[in-house]
Amino acid sequence: ETGVTQSPTHLIKTRGQQVTLRCSSQSGHNTVSWYQQALGQGPQFIFQYYREEENGRGNFPPRFSGLQFPNYSSELNVNALELDDSALYLCASSLAYNEQFFGPGTRLTVL
């Protein structure tokens, strides 16, 4: 059984740029959730996708957007990057409303 994978591992961008982060869900899982974790804090929910539809969204601006593909993999896109977007971005997969399992994360640094 393959676990959750994310790419890239690390990324450095400058303010105003756009970034795309990718996630492959665990085999058999149809739901992907994205979280942002700033240093020293708990993860914060960005949004969730279930069967290619957005299924819930946290308190993040519209420049955070996402997609889920038919194979249940997912992308997180962030436009007009700001310094405060520097964080660990976590993808978690689950089977519908069951337990969520996290990937290794993508560390984004915005300069």
Partner 1 sequence: QKEVEQNSGPLSVPEGAIASLNCTYSDRGSQSFFWYRQYSGKSPELIMSIYSNGDKEDGRFTAQLNKASQYVSLLIRDSQPSDSATYLCAVNIDNAGNMLTFGGGTRLMVKP
CA angle 31, 105, 99 (to 5 degrees): 35
Query: Between residues 24 and 33, which has the closer beta carbon with respect to partner 1?
Result: 33
Q: How far is the CB of 56 from partner 1 (least distance, A)?
A: 3
Binding part of the chain for partner 1, among 20-28, 64-72, 77-85, 97-105 by CB under 8 A, reads 97-105
**DSSP 8-state class, residue 91:** E
Residues 16-45 that bind partner 1 (CB under 8 A): 31, 33, 35, 40-45
Q: Which residue type occupies 78?
A: V
Assess 104 for contact with partner 1 (CB under 8 A). Answer: yes
